[in-house]
């Protein structure tokens, strides 16, 4: 892959929009994040916003605070909720309340907190491949939360996708 004008332009755009090098590499295709970073340097586009490395960590933004509440309310099974709004994508991590697990029998009531809304090219072996939205739509995306190594979905979508037979019967 060579750096055509179009590709450089897209690189400039995405970089200015705050996407991470790896995300840009994924969208460009055919290049590694290192290639993107190298190119960014050569183009002297570096230093976008915050200087050194990973900025993806804020704690008490008003927006962040209100969102934490929203997520906490939505996910009744959540015990610990941390949300971070980075220069790139929105990312939320959480741990389920073990006790609460007994209450959420009806699968319809399982609340999936939030998705990273990744594009197809951004999926890796560890990202949840649960689809969001209309595959024919522009804003179609995948959940993208951590799926571990046990399957194609994060634990919440796995719970929806792989219902135990008995449970599925009563959930009817």
Instruction: Say how many residues touch DNA, by CB under 7 A.
Output: 29
Residues of span 35-54 touching DNA by CB under 7 A: 35, 37-42, 46-47, 51-54
Which CB, 77 or 81, lies closer to DNA? 81
For the chain, where are the alpha helices, taking DSSP H only?
5-16, 21-28, 33-42, 62-74, 155-161, 165-171
> What is the Cβ-side half-sphere exposure of residue 73, based on CA atoms within 13 angstroms?
6
Which CB, 52 or 62, lies closer to DNA? 52
Helix, strand or coil, per DSSP, at residue 5:
helix
Which CB, 14 or 112, lies closer to DNA? 14
The sign one gets for the Cα dihedral 138, 143, 144, 149 is negative
Residues of span 112-141 touching DNA by CB under 7 A: 124, 126
Residues of span 81-110 touching DNA by CB under 7 A: 88
Find out whether 129 and 115 touch, Cβ atoms under 8 Å.
no
Which residues are near DNA by CB under 7 A?
1-3, 20-23, 31-35, 37-42, 46-47, 51-54, 56-57, 88, 124, 126
């Amino acid at each position: 892959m060579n750096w055509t004008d179009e590709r450089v332009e897209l690189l400039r755009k995405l970089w200015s929009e705050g996407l991470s090098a790896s995300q840009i590499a994924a969208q460009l295709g055919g290049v590694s994040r290192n290639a993107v970073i190298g190119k960014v340097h050569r183009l002297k586009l570096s230093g976008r916003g915050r200087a050194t490395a990973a900025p993806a960590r804020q704690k008490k933004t008003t927006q962040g605070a209100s969102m934490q509440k929203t997520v906490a309310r939505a996910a009744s099974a959540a015990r610990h909720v941390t949300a971070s709004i980075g220069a790139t994508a929105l990312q939320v991590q959480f741990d389920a309340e073990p006790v609460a697990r007994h209450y959420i029998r009806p699968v319809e009531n399982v609340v999936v907190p939030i998705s990273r809304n990744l594009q197809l090219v951004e999926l890796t072996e560890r990202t949840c491949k649960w689809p969001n939205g209309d595959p024919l739509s522009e804003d179609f995306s995948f959940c993208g939360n951590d799926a571990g190594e046990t399957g194609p979905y994060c634990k919440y979508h796995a719970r929806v996708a792989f219902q135990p037979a008995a449970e599925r019967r009563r959930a009817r």
